[in-house]
Structure 1
Amino acid sequence: DDDLACKGDRLRFANTRLRLQPTLALSEDVRVRMTLDVFDNMVLGSTPDGYAYRYEEGTGFVRADRVPGVPLDSFTTGQNPPQDYRNSLRDSIYVRHAWAEVTNRGLGQLRFGRMPSHWGLGLIAHDGNGIDSDFSSDADRIMGLTRIAGMYVVAAYDFASKGVLRQFSPYDVRGLSYDASPQDDIRQFVFAIARRTDPEEARDRLQRGSWVLDGGLYFVYRHQFLSSAGVTNAFPVSADYSFVRRDARAFIPDLWARFQMRGVRLELEASYIGGRVRNIQNDSYRQDDLKIRQFGFAFEGEYRLLSDKLSIRLYAGYASGDPDIEGLSDRQGILAQTGSGSGSNTVSHFQFHPNYRIDQILWRNVMGRVAGAYYLRPGVSYDIIRSPFGQLFGLGVDAVYSRASQEVQTYGSDPNLGLELDLSLYYR
C-alpha cells in the first residue's frame, strides 16, 4: 500500500548529556574528585509517559500495551525520567568516577579509587572527556605519581577484574561482598614515564617562537590464570562456582610523542600488544594456545596560519589485520573465529579505542572503531570568528580514505573500504 510505505530516507534525532565534575577539597593536599553524568546519551523524546515496559520470566522485557492516563501513544503528554527496568535501558544519573588524591609536595601524589585513564592521543586508553565522546577508559586503580628530573614517573596497580564475588547471604543486598577466589582475578600493572610541558609554559614558549617537545612511554602488563566466565548465575553460590584454566598474559608498550612550533603540531602514538592465551573456552580446557601479535599507530599533523584561523591537517593511521578471520568489526566474534580451527593461532587484529574518531560514518557508526585497516585523512578548516576568549565559529572539510590491512578479511576480498567526505560547521 503506497499510503503506508515508509517514504523517509533520513534519521533525525538529538541526544543530550550533562557532565558534572565536582571536587571536594579536604585540605590543600587532599582532594576527592568525581564524575557524574546526567541524562547520558539520552535521546530526546525517548521516555514519553505513554511508554513503559516490564520484565517477564522466560520472555524478557515486554512493552506495556496501555499506560494509565495515556489511552494511546499518540496522545502522550510529556516525558518521564529514564529508569532502568521501567522505560529505558539506562538510568538518569551515572556515577562514572570517584577517586582521592593525596599530595606530598616533596615526594609526589597518590591516587586511589575509580578514575579515568588516558594516554597520548587516546589510541588504547581514552578518558572520554571530549564533548562528543561516548566511551571512556575507567580504571579501579592505586597509582603513585612523582616527578624526577623534569619527567613524570607513574606506577599503578589496576583491579582489572575480581571474578566471582560472594556475600555472607545472597539476600543481604546491604552486606559487604568479597572476592570468592584470587585465582580468577585479572592482575594488571601500569608503568609510565613522560615529559609533559605545562600548558601555560608551552603557550609562552610558542609565542616566543620556540618549540615544545613532549612524549613518553606507557607500559601495561596483564595476567590471568583461571577464569570464572563460565559461571552463568548472576548471584552465584558455592555450588555454581566453575573455574577453567585461561593462562592469559599480555605486554603492551605504547610510545607517544608531540612536537609543536609556530603553528605546527606533529603528534604520533604507536602501540604494540603481545602475549598469549592458552585457552579461550569458558567451560572446558582445549589448549587453543593463541599468540597475540598486534600493532597500530596514529599520526596527526596540523599547520595553522593566518593568525591561527586557517588549519591544514593530515591524519593517518594503521591497525594490523588478521588474514585468518572474516570481518573488521569487533561485533563479529573475531577472537572466537581465531580459536575455531581457522588455520592460525596468531591473533593480530588491532583495534583503536572507540573514542579515537576519524570520521562520521564508516568507523564511527558502522564498524564502531578503527580496526584492521589503514587510513589517510587530509582536511582543512577556517575559523570565521576566533575571539581571545576561546569562542570559535567556522567551517571545515575532511576526506577520509580507508583500506583494509588484510584484504581477505573483507567480504568479497576487496580491500578498498571507500572514500568519505565530511563537512562541518562548528561553534564553541
Structure 2
Amino acid sequence: MARGDGPALSVGTGRSGREAVAAVWRIESPRIVGALARYTGDFALAEDVAQEALAEALVTWPREGVPREPGAWLLTVGRRRAIDAFRRRAGRDERYAALAHELGEGGAAPGTVDGGADELLFDPDRIDDDVLALIFVSCHPVLSREARVALTLRVVGGLTSDEIARAFLVPTATVQARITRAKKTLGAAGVPFGVPPAAERGERLSSVLHVIYLIFTEGSSASSGDDLIRLDLAAEARRLARVLARLVSDHAEVHGLLALLELTAARFPARTGPDGEPVLLADQDRRRWDAAAIGRGRAALDRAQETGRGLGAYGLQAAIAACHATAPSVEATDWQRIVLLYEALGRLAPSPVVELNRAVAVSMAQDPAAALPIVDGLADSAELAGSHLLPSVRGELLTRLGRPVEAREALELAVARCGNERERDLLRGKIAGLRG
C-alpha cells in the first residue's frame, strides 16, 4: 500500500457501509475531534475537518467497504483536510511547514500503521485528556446555554444537526446556526483547546454538569411534542455523565449528577403505558423499574458521599431520587426525609422549582392544606411564569382538598400552558375526573 492511501478496506458495502459510518462516528467522534483539536490547535477547524472526514466516509465506505481501522481512517482523512486548510490560509506557512514535515506532505508519519492516526487515537491517557478537554471547550461559559447544548451534542455526543434539531423540535438550520456561532465565539474569545487550569476548573466544571443536566431533563420530560420521554436524548446525557465520572473521578458533584440521572432513568420503563400515555408515580408498576440502573445510581451516590464533604445540589437531588427508587410504594416512601432533603437543596441552590417540589413533598408528608400556602407563595415567580407546573400542582392540591371548582380553573390553566401533548392529555383526564 502506498503511504497516505489510508487503511485497507474490508468487505461490506451499501447500506452496511452507511450504518458502519454512523456507528463508528457515534463512538469515536469525541476522540477524533479531540485529537484533531490537539493536533491543529484550532477547535473550530478540528470540528470542520472531522465533519469533512465523516462526509467522505459516507461516500467511500458504502462503495468500497468498511476500513479495518475505521476510527484511524477518519482521523487520517481529518488530518489531511487540516493540512489542506492550512495550505489555503495566508500567513500560516510556518504552521503548515511543521505539519507537512510531520506528515511527509500528506503521507504517513514513520512508525505508525497509517499516517500517525493510531498514535493520536489510541493512546489511552491522551484520549482521556482530549475528550475531557473537548467537553470543557464545548461547555465554555462564554457560550449561551443553547449553544453549549448544541455543541456538546454535536462534538461530544456525535449527533448530527438533524438529530439535535429533532430532539429539541427546532429547525435544523437553527441548530447549524448555533453551532457555527458557538465556534466563532470560541475563536473570538481565544479559548484554547485543553483542560482548564485548576483555578478555572471549578467554574467550568459547573457549566459542564449543567449542560449534561439540561440534556437529560429535556429527554426525561420533553417540553414539547408528542412523546413524554425522549429516550435517546436521556441516554446520551447518561453516557456523557459516565464519561465525565471516569475522567473526573475525584469530584463529588460529578458522581452526584450521574447518580441522579441513573436513578431517574430507572423509572422510565414504568412511566408510560402501552400507547405512550403517562403513568403517575402512584400507579406505576415498580417491578418494571430498572434494578440495574438503581444499583448504578446508588453506587454513584455512595461515591459522591465518599468523595466530598457533603452532598452538593445534584447529590441532594440524587438522594431524593434514591428515596423513591428504594420505596416499595408511594405510601411507604420516606416523605419526611424527602422534605428535609428539599429544604437542604433550597438552602444550597434556591429556586422556585425546588420550592414547588418541596410543596409536593410536604403535601405527602403532612397534608395538602400545609402545602397550598407554599404553592400560592410562588404565584409571582418569574421563573414559573408561563409554566404549567405551578397550576398543575395547585390543581392537584385543590382536588385533594375537595375544592373542585378552583381545581378545574388551575388545571385548565395548566393545559393551556403545557407544550407536551401527552401531559396535556393527562391534565385533561384529571379535569374530566373532577366532581362539582
The verdict on a shared fold, with TM-score over 0.5 as the criterion, is: no
Q: Whose strand proportion is higher, 1 or 2?
A: 1
Larger RCO: Structure 1 or Structure 2 (Cα < 8 Å, ≥ 6 residues apart)?
A: 2
TM-score w.r.t. the length of structure 1 is: 0.25
Q: Whose helix proportion is higher, 1 or 2?
A: 2
TM-score w.r.t. the length of structure 2 is: 0.25
